[in-house]
């Protein structure tokens, strides 16, 4: 029995390895994520720890560079006869998320590095309720909308690069690439209800905001 289980596990790992090797874009997506954090931490470290802002700026330019490499590789793969797959769609969604939220994430990390190593002001927490919370949630939701638009644009680019037909929205779920836009649509809908709409209807009053106004 133990030998059977061991053989089954080994066979599963082998199939997973073959799948990954057959989809180099999976590795590229992972490398892009690692590269994002490497360039971000290295850039902020150079700016605030080493006190070399010029070097920090150069390193931070590597953050969007990873996105350019990813979308270029995805388009080139399809243009040279690669079979459209869910990995290509995942690359499009990943690019949409990093472009839409990347600047905010860099700013979030920059404030904390500046506070920790350069005596900058302490990070400000998001408002807990009231009109300020509602504005915050709608501002964040604009990034969700930007993610959807960028993902759709990249998918369109990949579709054209591969000489493929753009599927109708009703056929997204059956398409290996465009199914990710359907997933993004569902997430955007849930976020809309749980985020800005909830804050608009049930946000309540932020005591801290009221105290600041007084």
Distance CA 63, CA 114 (A): 19
Tell me the Ramachandran region of residue 84: left when phi exceeds 0, alpha when psi lies from -120 to 50, beta otherwise: beta
Distance CA 86, CA 176 (A): 5
Judge contact between 92 and 155, C-beta under 8 A: yes
- Domain range enclosing 157: 2-213
Query: Based on the structure, what is the number of domains in the chain?
Result: 1
Distance CA 94, CA 207 (A): 38
Judge contact between 93 and 172, C-beta under 8 A: no
Judge contact between 113 and 164, C-beta under 8 A: no
Q: What is the pLDDT along the chain (214 residues), one digit of tens a residue?
A: 434 434 443 443 344 344 443 467 888 888 888 999 999 999 999 999 999 999 999 999 998 888 888 889 999 989 988 889 999 999 999 999 999 999 999 999 999 999 999 999 999 999 988 999 999 999 999 999 999 999 999 999 999 999 999 999 999 999 999 999 999 999 999 999 999 999 999 876 654 443 333 3
pTM of the model: 0.81
How many residues would you count in the chain?
214
């Amino acid at each position: 029995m133990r030998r059977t289980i061991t053989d089954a596990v080994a066979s599963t790992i082998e199939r997973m390895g073959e799948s990954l090797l057959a989809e180099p874009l999976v590795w590229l997506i992972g490398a892009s994520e690692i590269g994002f954090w490497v360039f971000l931490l290295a850039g902020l470290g150079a700016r605030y720890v080493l006190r070399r802002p010029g070097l920090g700026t150069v390193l931070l330019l590597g953050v969007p560079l990873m996105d350019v490499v990813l979308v270029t590789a995805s388009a080139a793969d399809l243009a040279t006869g690669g079979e459209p797959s869910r990995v290509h769609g995942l690359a499009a969604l990943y690019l949409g998320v990093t472009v839409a939220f990347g600047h905010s994430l860099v700013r979030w990390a920059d404030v904390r590095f500046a506070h920790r190593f350069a005596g900058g002001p302490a990070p400000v927490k998001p408002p807990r309720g009231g009109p300020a919370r509602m504005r915050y949630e709608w501002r964040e939701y604009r990034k969700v909308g930007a993610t959807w638009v960028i993902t759709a644009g990249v998918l369109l680019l990949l579709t054209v690069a591969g000489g493929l037909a753009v599927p109708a929205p009703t056929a997204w779920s059956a398409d290996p690439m465009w199914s990710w836009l359907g997933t993004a649509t569902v997430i955007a809908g849930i976020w809309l209800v749980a985020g800005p709409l909830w804050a608009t209807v049930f946000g309540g009053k932020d005591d801290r905001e009221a105290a600041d106004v007084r």
